[in-house]
Amino acid sequence: MSKITLDSDTSRATPTPKPGKRVTAPAIQARKQDGKVDEPIVMLTAYTMRMAQLLDAHCDMILVGDSLGQVIYGLDSTIPVSLDMMCNHGAAVVRGSWHAMIIVDMPFGSYEQSPAQAFESASRIMKETGCAAVKLEGGEAMAETIAFLTSRGIPVMGHVGLTPQAVNMLGGYRARGRDDSEEAKILADAKAVCDAGAFSLVAEGVMEPIADKLAAQCPVPVIGIGASKNCDGQVLVTEDMLGLFERTARFVKVYHNLAEQISSAVETYAGEVKDRSFPTSDQTYRPKK
């Protein structure tokens, strides 16, 4: 068996774990006591080792979302995302972290057919990435599958409300819960997911009063995205909140204009290359005298 040795002085692929223990699904679920969470749960997305390193100390959970289809691959939706993509990026994020619980999205088509198909896909994800849980979209229709997975040792995070994998059925990405029938479905979906054994759930793009009801009624932590500040935690796509894209959803708060900084740095670099002011003696190797 070949052995790979990394030079810690030069290699980028050397996470430096600190002594500690990863956050677990039972620990997240236990954060909600008597219907409330004392300290809201922090969650962001990551798709690469380096981003995971930067987020890890500040997050309780890191989601390797199928949003990587748009963010990393430039796809129009999450529908084309494959298991291979999720496994590759999930493994990178696990390697770059030591503290946060890592959850990997199950991509469209990898779990809907049957509980057995879902187990095959989820077990592959967990084996190949080392993640602690999977996330899947859907409510009542997925309850049997969630129960099947959790009874076989696979922690599951649910996802209700706006479910991007169902965008073709929903007719777009608009917020859900605008009428009584939609509200009733969201509440019923959330109850079914919780009853099936999910340790937490994401509530995406739902009207604020409905999100408040979910947080109050669900026995497990409800993580909001475009929902309510009263949710038990919040999640955003990291690249959105860092200002890497010109267009973002209404629910995104941009905390930093990283795109502008990157563009400015590259402009400076390009100018120095063209006028030969880079590299200098500090960036070149010369023979010793």
- The binding site consists of 66-67, 105, 135, 137
Q: Which amino acid is at 29?
A: Q
Tokens of 208: 């604020």
Tokens matching residue 140: 């009542």
Dihedral of alpha carbons 279, 285, 288, 289, sign = negative
Residues in binding site for 3-methyl-2-oxobutanoate: 66-67, 105, 135
Residue 28 φ then ψ, to 5°: -65, -45
Three-state helix/strand/coil letters over 270-288: HHHHHCCCCCCHHHCCCCC
> Catalytic: 204?
yes
DSSP for residue 101? E
Of the residues 120, 204, 208, 260, only one is catalytic, namely: 204
Summarize the annotated binding site for Mg(2+) as residue ranges.
66, 105, 137
CB atoms within 10 A of CB 128: 17
Give one DSSP letter per residue of 155-198, joined into a string: -EEEEEES-GGGHHHHTSSPPB--SHHHHHHHHHHHHHHHHTT-
Collapsed DSSP state (helix, strand, coil) of residue 130: coil
Rg for the chain, CA atoms, rounded: 21
Q: How many other CB atoms are there within 10 angstroms of residue 204's CB atom?
A: 24
By annotation, the residues acting in catalysis are 204
